């Protein structure tokens, strides 16, 4: 699968598995690239037009130590605050879902199948949202926030960044 296959027709990154040649935190981004993918997608939605490779490079450089691993929350917070003034952060499953339902777009931090994961989402209707890079088969999908919460926010801490 080539990198171009990981992008939607309207330019969002839907599948980190397509980022074969990209490295992040010293390992292939197919393993741990969900943070920069989500950040890129949110910035794209906000018409900032970032280059996805620059998002990866900047976030990678923000980690104090070059070790394999997921995007640290401190790095995600700093990166988003740097590029998206006025972003709100809400913690706790129910509070995060409520904040997301009222937002135009955002990024969830939760556990997908017990693994830390970042997922970006955009409002597409009254109670419909478009989610990217959720899981295999759910690379670019639409559902209500209630459905997303019921099917994916099933354990562990939930945080959402919203605009």
Tell which CATH architecture fits domain 3-162: Alpha-Beta Complex (3.90)
Band the pLDDT of 1: cuts 50, 70, 90. very low
pTM for this structure?
A: 0.95
Query: What whole-number percentage of the chain has pLDDT above 90?
Result: 92
Query: What whole-number percentage of the chain has pLDDT above 70?
Result: 98
Is a pLDDT exceeding 90 seen at residue 139?
yes
- Report the DSSP beta bridge partners of residue 122: 105, 130
The reported pLDDT for the residue numbered 38 is 98
Is a pLDDT exceeding 60 seen at residue 2?
no
For all residues of the chain together, what is the average pLDDT? 95
Is a pLDDT exceeding 70 seen at residue 3?
no
Model confidence over 23-74: pLDDT tens digits? 999 999 999 999 999 999 999 999 999 999 999 999 999 999 889 999 999 9
The reported pLDDT for the residue numbered 65 is 87
The Cα–Cα gap between 67 and 82 comes to 23
CB 120 within 8 A of CB 41: yes
Inter-CA distances, 52 with 33, 37, 89, 153, Å: 11, 8, 23, 27
The Cα–Cα gap between 150 and 28 comes to 31
């Amino acid at each position: 699968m080539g990198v171009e296959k990981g992008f939607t027709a309207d330019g969002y990154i839907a599948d980190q598995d397509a980022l074969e040649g990209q490295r992040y935190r010293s390992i292939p981004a197919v393993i741990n690239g969900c943070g920069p993918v989500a950040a890129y997608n949110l910035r794209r939605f906000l018409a900032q037009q970032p280059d996805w490779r620059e998002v990866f490079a900047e976030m990678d450089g923000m980690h104090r130590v070059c070790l394999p691993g997921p995007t640290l929350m401190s790095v995600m917070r700093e990166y988003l605050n740097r590029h998206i003034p006025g972003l709100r952060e809400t913690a706790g499953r129910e509070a995060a879902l409520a904040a997301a339902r009222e937002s135009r777009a955002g990024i969830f931090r939760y556990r997908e199948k017990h693994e830390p994961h970042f997922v970006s989402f955009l409002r597409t209707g009254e109670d419909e949202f478009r989610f990217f890079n959720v899981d295999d088969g759910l690379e670019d999908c639409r559902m209500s926030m209630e459905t997303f919460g019921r099917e994916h926010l099933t354990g562990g801490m939930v945080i959402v960044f919203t605009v």
